[in-house]
Amino acid sequence: MTTKFTSDHEWINTASIEAAVVGITPHAQDALGDVVFVELPEVGRSYAKGEVAGVVESVKAAADIYMPVNGEVVEVNEALKADPALANTDPMGAGWFFKVKVASTAEFDGLMEPPAYETLLQSL
């Protein structure tokens, strides 16, 4: 599997260290409800793991998006800005948030494998 997860209910596709794709999980979008606004990170800026890199807001609530790894943001999803509901309708696909360039695959160590994330969801 190339997709890993965080305890903040974000996913990251680890297939490429040049542009690892980050988004929120189906659980996260379900808990938020209808997403109406996203604030995405700055392209070209480097963020530390755990740093707030954006915001996702539904009608009822706002949640921070955390950087799941140390790295530089290389692209943000402009389509998501224009149509934030993509985070609800296709959270693991067209509703991605940004792509991040990391130094090495070692950055992905410590992220959750799918079974571990499943276990976390079941414990909620």
Partner 1 sequence: MPSAQPESTALLQTPLHDLHLRLGAKMVPFAGYAMPVTYLAGLMAEHRQCRDSAALFDVSHMGQLRLVGSDAAAALESLVPMDVVGLGEGKQRYAFFTNHSGGLLDDLMMVRPTAADAAAGFGDLFLVVNAGCKDADIRHLITHIGTRCTVLPMPERALLALQGPLAVVALSRLNPGVAQLTFMTGGAFTLAGAPCFVTRSGYTGEDGFEISVPATHAEALAESLLAQPEVKPAGLGARDTLRLEAGMCLYGHDIDETTSPVEAGLTWAIQKVRRPGGARAGGYPGVAAIESQLTSGAPSKRVGLIGLERAPVREGTPIVDAHGRKLGKVTSGTLAPTVNQAIAMAYLPIDHALPHHEVYAEVRGKRLPMRVSPMPFNPHRYHRA
Site of interaction with partner 1 (CB under 8 A): 33-34, 36-37, 39, 55, 57-60, 62
Q: How far is the CB of 22 from partner 1 (least distance, A)?
A: 19
Reported as type and span, the H/E element at residue 114 is helix 114-123
50 versus 110: smaller Cβ distance to partner 1: 50
As measured in angstroms, the least distance from the Cβ of 34 to partner 1 is: 4
Residues 64 and 54 sit within 8 Å (Cβ to Cβ) = yes
User: Which is nearer to partner 1, 81 or 101 (by Cβ)?
Assistant: 81
In the complex, minimum distance from the CB of residue 31 to partner 1, in angstroms, rounded to a whole number: 9
Report the first-to-last Cα separation within the chain, whole angstroms.
24
Instruction: Please report, for residues 20, 67, 84, the alpha-carbon distance to residue 12 in angstroms, rounded to integers and kept in the order given.
Output: 6, 10, 19
